[in-house]
A and B are shown apart, each in its own frame.
Chain A
């Protein structure tokens, strides 16, 4: 784990030597915090003014690992500082205040705080702050991987146009997608070339650079911006499209967070939140959303797949519900942590937020809340991991290799396509996969009830073997990170991990049932678990490049294609573009 490379020279003693910048206008608290942090063997810098802190941070980029800031400061609102730090240095920021009003805490979280501590702050809270730094490192590593993955994904896309188009429909506003398509098609070919040469380049976004960026965005117009256009306008040597794209995502997220702040304040949102008891299964949220948003039939194929996964992992819905409830109650002990832990603006979450920021304005708040709730369950699943049945262990590993390319692109894609609905389902999905593999057959029947499509059945049968493998891959790759991101989800409402993203697909799967509406909801509760499992499979088709999948059992491929064939390709075409901004 340590090889993730902390900038501090004392790698081996981590978290000792963690470089903490404390910002508070109250000298008394500064003195106390300095002492406390030193007792934790952290390296402390204190700052009485937010502006000074910002200057310090700008002058010494990479000089700090984490920032702890008071919320209320006379010279600059702590939230403002939080935004700037998040945008410019991408450091984890912990907010603190004597004021624990929910709305304040929420605001902090929305602005990207990774934690919100109430004064008086306790030693045990400070001792633990290294986790935010660590989590961030994990995310960064993953980001790079995603970048690489993205590359291969794009190639895949080129290779097999047919398969990619399925997923994105769901919540997206079609016109928006079209726009994206336009943008995309203009830059597509070049981009691929760019990518290969620049995948790992990282850019420090200085104030000047950021200002250039903002200027470019404004000049182009926010609706029409694409990384390439911005890049051209900025005209900065060595800056790559990927750099710009990633920053653009951050920036969009930032804007949508601001906007979301308003949503939160509106009473409707609040009502929704209270409406949804925690005991509600996350799945039901997901299904509702997807029904509303995705009238299309497109994802039928996906659904069939998930069905197959059902068979394999066979979850007993009831028992799951029970688990959930437990989760709901237990979190109370930990909720703070769970929620706060992950603030370190992982890029992913931002990306996702921004994506669905545009299209689904009204449902958005609803979705968010659902996500929020689901974050609790998500925690639980991971706890359950150690107890994973041996079965999973026994899954052939060679498949993992085969899929190793896939997960990354998949993530990327999903992230972009991101809809709010998927989140809820996501959280529970991993747990199911991990824990409930034991009893296969029960669920299947319910599946069949829903789907009269022959293709579902067939795919189920064929996909069975391979599905577990995919699951495995996912968990292996992302275990650590996904845990954190889930927590994140709770906070940001929108983080997507690989796991989560796969859940999205689940939602996609739903649409076919839209007509059933009522039935769907009822049935869905049991069904949502499958969906989760199925998600992973679903994604595969999109990325699907036969060459990448050579290791995958052929029947799996067949299954995928089969599903796809059921659908009219034209339906997909609109959708897929959303990925490629």
Chain B
């Protein structure tokens, strides 16, 4: 009973991530890829993404300190970041990335910086929420395997 409740909570948590527009269907695809050979595939991918994108974020931060701004470079970094975000289905982050790149193309430094702050915020929010979700999911145990109470 307890476990069922947990499962329900896991499902609700996940659903809320979609409802808030934080995730898109790529996340579901990741879940579909998870199998016996890689039982923690989704979590591994997500943590890999966050590890790798931290580097990109700091690249962008440094590039934003330059004066004048090198929009081409910023756009390149953001392209990479956006690509990486698309890998885990970070929908909202991706949308902000698109906006950022538009500002870059328009040569709008202020807009770029503002958007970048927003990106970092969304990026962190999603990270936190996904961590919570994985935590819960672990507690609930694998969805369909027989889980005998210890």
Contact = CB atoms under 8 A, between A and B. Distances in A.
Contact of B29 (A28, A31, A123): A123
Given A26-B83, A120-B26, A120-B87, A31 B44 contact: yes
B82 A98 contact: yes
A28 B89 contact: no
Contacts of B79: 72, 98-99
Interface in B60-109: 76, 79-80, 82-84, 86-89
A26 B45 contact: no
B127 interface: no
Interface string B29-51: 11011000010010011001100
Contacts of B38: 35
- Describe B's contact surface by its main secondary structure: helix
User: Which among A27, A36, A98 has the highest number of chain B CB atoms within 10 Å?
Assistant: A98
Interface string A236-257: 0000000000000000000000
A29 interface: yes
A501 interface: no
B48 A25 contact: no
Contacts, number: 54
A80 interface: no
A25 B76 CA distance: 13
Given A32-B30, A120-B29, A122-B29, A25 B80 contact: yes
B52 interface: yes
Nearest to B44: A31
Contact of A98 (B44, B53, B83, B88): B83
A35 B86 CA distance: 16
Nearest to A70: B83
A31 B83 contact: no
A29 B29 contact: no
Contacts of A122: 29
B46 to A, nearest CB: 9
A32 B80 contact: no
A332 B33 CA distance: 29
Interface string A520-553: 0000000000000000000000000000000000
A25 to B, nearest CB: 7
B84 A28 contact: yes
B76 A28 contact: no
Nearest to B53: A28
Contacts of A36: 33
Contact of A26 (B32, B41, B52): B52
Contact of A72 (B32, B76, B86): B76
Q: Which of A29, A36, A99, A122 has the most CB of B within 10 A?
A: A29
Q: Which of B48, B82, B83, B84 has the most CB of A within 10 A?
A: B83
Given A35-B33, A35-B38, A29 B44 contact: no
B86 A32 contact: no
Given A26-B84, A29-B87, A123-B32, 7 more contacts: A28-B48, A28-B87, A31-B44, A32-B45, A97-B83, A119-B83, A123-B29
16 contacts: A26-B83, A26-B84, A27-B52, A28-B45, A29-B83, A29-B87, A31-B45, A32-B87, A35-B41, A39-B33, A97-B83, A98-B82, A99-B79, A119-B87, A120-B89, A122-B29
